[in-house]
Each structure stands twice: as C-alpha cells, then as structure tokens.
C-alpha cells in the first residue's frame, strides 16, 4: 500500500516538475503554458483511472489521515477530496471514453483549469483552481456535467422548496400570533374562576327546646278548693298542708 502511494506521489511530482521545466517564453499562466497545465491535469485523471475501487478507497483514507495529522498539509486534504469525488461520481457517469476539451479561466488572483471528460452515461469535468502568483493548487474536484434542462429543473426545485419552507414558516408564525390572542381570554377565565366567592355553609339553627311556662293560676285555685274540702271533712287545720308542683314530661 505504502509503495503504491509513493509511486503515485512520485509520478504526480514528476509531472509538475516536467511542466515547470518545460515552460517556454509563450507561457502566460504564472510561468506555465496552457498545454503544460492540461498535461498535469490529465496526469491526475490517468492515475485515478488506473486504480481499482479498493485502491482508490485506501488512497482517499491515507490522504485524509495525513491531512488530519498535519493541519497545514492542505495538499493532502485536496487530493483526498479529489479521490473521494472520483469514487462518488464515477458510478453516475459510467465508463471513461476520452478527453474532450480543456479551458483556462483567469479571474482576479486565481487561475481555473477545467478538463472536460466523456463518459458512457454523462460527461464529467475535473476542475483545478490555482493561485495566480504561486501557481499552487487551492482546490481540486471532480463533478458530473448536467444539461441546461437538468440545471433549470434543479433550480426550479430549489426555488419551490424555498417557497414551501417560507410558507410553512409563515403558517407557524400565524399560529403563534393567533395563540397570543387566545391566551388573555384563557387567563381571564382562570382568574374569574379563582375569584368566585365560595358559598359559606349556612349555620345550622339549633333548635332550642324552650320550656313553656305553665300557667298555674287555675291549678292553685283547684288546690285551694280541695284543701278546704279536706279540712272541712276532717276538721283538721290546713296550715300543715304543703303543695308541691308536679313536673310534667312531654
């Protein structure tokens, strides 16, 4: 594994050195000609095509691990990303047929090189972005080429998804606003329930048994008559007679 990785890195380094040494007076991209940049990019593509799926996976993991071990190693990170792109895209584009065209675009401080490739299912392209001054790569990727119809349909789908998202957010906001209107009424209902006076238990009227005062005037007269009759019949004095009241039970 390490031997194959060393061979791959050595080959790539040789291609870069060859491109740098072979620059002519007509070079106009940081000391490199268009054909030199194309040769370097095709060299990467040829190396990737020559590797099996298992080898590609191993190389991707190796470069990714190197980038993790050394945060300043941007070159390994870019190569690992390029290999991973190749692994992800090649099943979608099919078998490689050949190279079609190569173009170089200069914008500001960057030089963008695009190598178009023909595959059985759809075209693909390998894009390298260089720093214009140092001509060191700052980005590498491999991606499928979509037709205008596919691009437009994707754009329309993105717009539709965005509109649906905004519409859903507006519905949620409307629900919250409506809920804020209902909350005060609920609070008032709860407050009114809590403030209702509690019905006090009516005191039980104690029935006081009132004893009726007996009118004993008629009874006294009857006692006097009986006493006089007894005295007359017996000839005894009535002074020793004691009259006691009789309590009646109801």
Q: Is residue 160 part of a domain?
A: no
Q: Is residue 33 part of a domain?
A: yes
Determine if the pTM surpasses 0.85. no
CA distance 123 to 100: 9
Write down the number of H helices and E strands in the chain: 6, 4
pLDDT given at position 199 = 55
pLDDT given at position 248 = 56
Residues in a beta bridge with 128: 113, 140
**Structural domain span for residue 134:** 2-150
User: Which residue has 């909350």 as its token pair?
Assistant: 183
pLDDT given at position 215 = 52
CA distance 31 to 51: 31
Q: Is residue 201 part of a domain?
A: no
Contact 128, 12 (CB under 8 A): no
Cβ–Cβ contacts within 10 Å for residue 77, how many? 18
Q: Is residue 105 part of a domain?
A: yes
Q: Is residue 235 part of a domain?
A: no
Q: Is residue 107 part of a domain?
A: yes
Alpha-carbon torsion (96, 99, 105, 110), positive or negative: positive
3-state secondary structure of 144: strand
Q: Is residue 19 part of a domain?
A: yes
Q: Exposure pattern of 32-41 as b/e (b: 16+ CB <10 Å)?
A: bbeebbbbbb
Structure tokens at 96: 């490689």
What residues contact residue 202 under an 8 Å CB cut-off, 6+ apart?
A: none
Q: How many domains does the chain have?
A: 1
Per-residue pLDDT of the chain (250 residues; tens, 9 = 90+): 555 555 555 565 555 444 444 444 455 787 889 999 999 999 999 999 999 999 999 999 999 898 888 888 888 899 999 999 999 999 999 999 999 999 999 988 899 999 999 999 999 999 999 998 888 999 999 999 988 888 888 888 899 899 999 989 999 988 888 777 787 777 777 777 776 555 555 555 544 444 445 555 556 666 666 776 676 666 666 566 565 665 555 5
Q: Is residue 214 part of a domain?
A: no
pLDDT given at position 148 = 83
Contact 30, 65 (CB under 8 A): no
């Amino acid at each position: 594994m390490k031997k194959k990785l060393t061979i791959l890195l050595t080959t790539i380094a040789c291609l870069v050195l060859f491109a740098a040494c072979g620059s002519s007076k007509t070079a106009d991209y940081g000391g490199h000609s268009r054909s030199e940049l194309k040769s370097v990019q095709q060299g990467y593509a040829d190396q990737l095509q020559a590797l099996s799926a298992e080898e590609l996976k191993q190389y991707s993991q190796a470069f990714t691990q190197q980038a993790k071990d050394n945060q300043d190693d941007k070159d390994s990170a870019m190569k690992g990303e390029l290999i991973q792109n190749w692994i992800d895209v090649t099943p979608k584009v099919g078998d490689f047929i050949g190279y079609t065209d190569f173009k170089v675009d200069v914008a500001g401080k960057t030089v963008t090189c695009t190598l178009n490739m023909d595959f059985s299912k759809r075209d693909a392209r390998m894009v390298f972005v260089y720093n214009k001054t140092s001509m060191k790569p700052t980005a590498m990727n491999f991606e499928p080429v979509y037709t205008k119809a596919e691009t437009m349909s994707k754009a329309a789908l993105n717009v539709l998804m965005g509109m649906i998202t905004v519409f859903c957010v507006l519905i949620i906001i409307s629900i919250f606003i409506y809920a804020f209107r209902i909350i005060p009424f609920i609070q008032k209902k709860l407050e009114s329930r809590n403030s209702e006076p509690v019905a006090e238990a009516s005191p039980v009227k104690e029935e006081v048994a009132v004893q009726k005062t007996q009118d004993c005037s008629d009874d006294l007269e009857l006692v006097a008559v009986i006493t006089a009759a007894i005295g007359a019949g017996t000839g005894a004095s009535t002074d020793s007679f004691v009259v006691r009241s009789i309590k009646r039970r109801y």
